[in-house]
């Protein structure tokens, strides 16, 4: 017999919010039945409309706030609530840091059963605005005019946006300039529904330390109309520009970049540095979007590794070698593994760029390559992992446990999979000594974490 739910769809009810979900929605309970409401904060009372009910939980929309949280702030841009990505802009920065630190503690306890692990106060930013060094915005058309901005949540409707409060001013300026020039020249925007038109996305990348700017124009067609005029105007109007790139993506897909990339003007790469390590960044390179906090994160990873120049380090999921090259400055040798061949090419190029000769890089899945290394007799004193959101593969964790490095430094972008993997390593003979949350993405629910484990 089905239990009757305590709320019905389209019903208006009054609630008090007691928590936030992992994606930043407020949680209210009616007779123990949770209802998730975006833009609501713990401690607030409100009238909501129930918009969807499932067996175990429902969703609501905020109608009227009766009592506001002391951490609530006005959203800085009127358009900000219309697009996804910045789920916590209505929460003060102090409140955001508190939420993220608590999230890490709760997840470690609930999923990892790690009640006694020391979680340090989160490392936030002095200025949590205008930090992203890269933007890639979709292009469309409205009332016959080319627009570019952000998708509304859960839709493919583009909101034309002149400025994002989380992107560096130079990135905002580059996107806006491309948009204005394309409008003036009459370059046709991409029509996603009918797979017609030309300009699909505009990308801008900026080197914070070098002041170098790259613009990438992503089109459906191999031909870019008014190419020479577009390049001339960009070079005239953007004095920091060092690279203009054309990328062709003719497929009917949500993937942004296509396979064919041509340099229209300037260099193939721009440069940036984190600490004293220099990086070459191409249109296709993966590079951390918040370089200020990346240095904070990697400094912590380096501190936890505790290197004295004698150690062999393995860096699983090494990407373009960012952490590997940091570690190589203090280790005897570093071996990095990454599944994306282009990232490994970037890693090798970045090692050469910095004159680092004690770092080697291999293409392949960490969970396949590293067990093979172990069978061949290779081992490590320190093991560094920085996996994607799904966490480490079980085969890799088993290899770490078998290999018995003295230390494991776990860099994570997902507290839930971090907690799961720490539990496995704890059961395999490691102690989690310390966990350091780092706020890499202010205004969003994402939190990065570095954990230090030592063999028992």
CA–CA separation, 299 vs 322, rounded Å?
12
CA–CA separation, 129 vs 51, rounded Å?
33
3-state secondary structure of 224: coil
Label the pairing between strands 407-412 and 58-67.
unpaired
Please give the pLDDT value at position 77. 55
For residue 283, is pLDDT > 80? yes
Residue 152 DSSP symbol: P
Q: Which homologous superfamily does the CATH classification assign to the domain defined by 98-126+290-455?
A: Vaccinia Virus protein VP39 (3.40.50.150)
Please give the pLDDT value at position 3. 60
- Lowest-pLDDT choice from 171-185, 202-216, 365-379: 365-379
CB atoms inside a 10 Å sphere around CB 86:
22
Domain range summary for the chain, segments of one domain joined by +: 12-69, 98-126+290-455, 134-274
Residue-wise pLDDT for 11-51, tens only, equals 999 999 998 988 889 999 999 999 999 999 999 999 999 99
CB 137 within 8 A of CB 217: no
Strand partners, 407: 382, 454
CA–CA separation, 227 vs 455, rounded Å?
59
Q: Is 182 exposed, middle or buried (0-12, 13-18, 19+ CB in 10 A)?
A: buried
Please give the pLDDT value at position 405. 96
Please give the pLDDT value at position 164. 87
Residues with a known catalytic role = 413
Strands (DSSP E) found in 117-161: 118-119, 134-142, 145-151, 158-160
The CA-to-CA distance between both ends of the chain, in Å, stands at 51
Please give the pLDDT value at position 2. 44
Please give the pLDDT value at position 153. 72
Q: What is the dihedral of CA 411, 417, 421, 424, to 10 degrees?
A: 170
CA angle 21, 27, 29 (to 5 degrees): 140
CA–CA separation, 354 vs 273, rounded Å?
10
CA–CA separation, 127 vs 93, rounded Å?
9
Please give the pLDDT value at position 81. 45
Please give the pLDDT value at position 256. 95
The reply to whether domains 98-126+290-455 and 134-274 share a CATH topology is: no
**Which helix or strand (DSSP H or E) is residue 28 part of?**
strand 26-30
Please give the pLDDT value at position 440. 96
Please give the pLDDT value at position 76. 61
CA–CA separation, 161 vs 336, rounded Å?
40
Mean pLDDT across the chain: 93
**Token pair listed for 75:** 């959203």
CA–CA separation, 94 vs 216, rounded Å?
36
Q: If phi over 0 gives left and psi between -120 and 50 gives alpha, with beta otherwise, what is residue 370?
A: alpha
Pick the CATH number of 134-274 from 3.20.20.370, 3.50.50.60, 2.40.50.1070, 1.10.10.10: 2.40.50.1070
CA–CA separation, 218 vs 24, rounded Å?
32
User: pLDDT higher for 24 or 1?
Assistant: 24
Residue-wise pLDDT for 309-362, tens only, equals 999 999 999 999 999 999 999 999 999 999 999 999 999 999 999 999 999 999
For residue 165, is pLDDT > 70? yes
For residue 152, is pLDDT > 90? no
CA–CA separation, 347 vs 318, rounded Å?
8
Rounded average pLDDT over 201-222? 98
H helix intervals, 71-122: 93-110
CB 371 within 8 A of CB 397: no
Number of helices (H), then strands (E), belonging to the chain: the values are 9, 22
CA–CA separation, 318 vs 336, rounded Å?
5
Please give the pLDDT value at position 83. 54
| Domain 12-69, CATH | 2.40.50.140
- Lowest-pLDDT choice from 10-14, 75-79, 105-109, 370-374: 75-79
Residue of 414, 406, 382, 391 whose CA lies nearest to 455: 406
CA 381, 382, 387, 391 torsion-angle sign: positive
Question: Which residues, including other chains, have CB under 8 Å from residue 223's CB and lie 6 or more apart?
Answer: none
Please give the pLDDT value at position 78. 47
pLDDT confidence bin for 80, thresholds 50/70/90: very low
- Lowest-pLDDT choice from 2-11, 56-65, 242-251, 423-432: 2-11
pTM of the model: 0.90
Residue-wise pLDDT for 220-246, tens only, equals 999 999 999 999 999 999 999 999 999
CA–CA separation, 314 vs 335, rounded Å?
5
């Amino acid at each position: 017999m089905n239990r009757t739910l305590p709320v019905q769809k389209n019903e208006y009810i009054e609630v008090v919010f007691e928590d936030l979900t992992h994606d930043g929605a407020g949680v209210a309970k009616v007779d123990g039945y949770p209802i998730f409401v975006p833009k609501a904060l713990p401690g607030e009372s409100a009238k909501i409309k129930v918009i969807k009910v499932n067996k175990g939980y429902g969703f609501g929309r905020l109608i009227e706030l009766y009592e506001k949280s002391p951490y609530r702030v006005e959203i800085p841009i009127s358009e900000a609530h219309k697009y996804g990505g910045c789920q916590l802009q209505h929460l003060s920065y102090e409140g955001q840091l508190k939420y993220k630190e608590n999230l890490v503690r709760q997840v470690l306890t609930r999923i990892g059963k790690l009640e006694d692990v020391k979680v340090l106060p989160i490392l936030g930013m002095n200025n949590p605005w205008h930090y992203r060094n890269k933007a890639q915005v979709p292009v469309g058309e409205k009332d016959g005019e080319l627009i570019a901005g952000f998708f509304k949540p859960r839709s493919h409707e583009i909101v034309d946006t002149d400025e994002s409060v989380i992107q560096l001013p130079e990135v905002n300026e580059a996107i806006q300039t491309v948009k204005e020039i394309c409008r003036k020249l009459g370059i046709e925007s991409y029509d996603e529904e009918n797979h017609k038109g030309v300009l699909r996305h505009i990308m801008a990348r900026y080197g914070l330390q070098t002041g170098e700017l790259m613009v990438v124009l992503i089109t459906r067609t191999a031909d870019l109309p008014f190419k020479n005029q577009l390049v001339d105007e960009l070079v005239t109007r953007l004095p920091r520009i060092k690279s203009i790139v054309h990328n062709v993506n003719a497929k009917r897909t949500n993937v942004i970049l296509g396979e064919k990339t041509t340099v229209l003007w300037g260099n193939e790469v721009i440069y940036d540095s984190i600490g004293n390590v220099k990086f070459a960044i191409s249109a296709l390179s993966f590079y951390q979007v918040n370089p200020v906090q990346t240095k904070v994160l990697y400094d912590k990873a380096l501190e936890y590794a505790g290197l004295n120049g004698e150690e062999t380090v393995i860096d699983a999921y090494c990407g373009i070698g960012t952490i590997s090259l940091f570690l190589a400055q203090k280790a005897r040798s570093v071996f990095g593994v990454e599944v994306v061949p282009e990232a490994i090419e970037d890693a090798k190029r970045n090692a050469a760029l910095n004159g680092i000769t004690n770092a080697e890089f291999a293409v392949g899945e960490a969970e396949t390559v590293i067990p093979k290394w172990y069978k061949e007799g290779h081992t490590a004193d320190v093991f560094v992992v920085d996996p994607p959101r799904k966490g480490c593969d079980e085969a890799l964790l088993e290899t770490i446990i078998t290999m018995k490095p003295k230390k494991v430094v776990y860099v994570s972008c997902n507290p839930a999979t971090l907690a799961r993997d720490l539990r496995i390593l704890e059961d395999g003979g490691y102690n989690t000594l310390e966990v350091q949350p780092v706020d890499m993405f202010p205004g969003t629910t994402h939190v990065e974490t570095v954990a230090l484990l030592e063999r028992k």
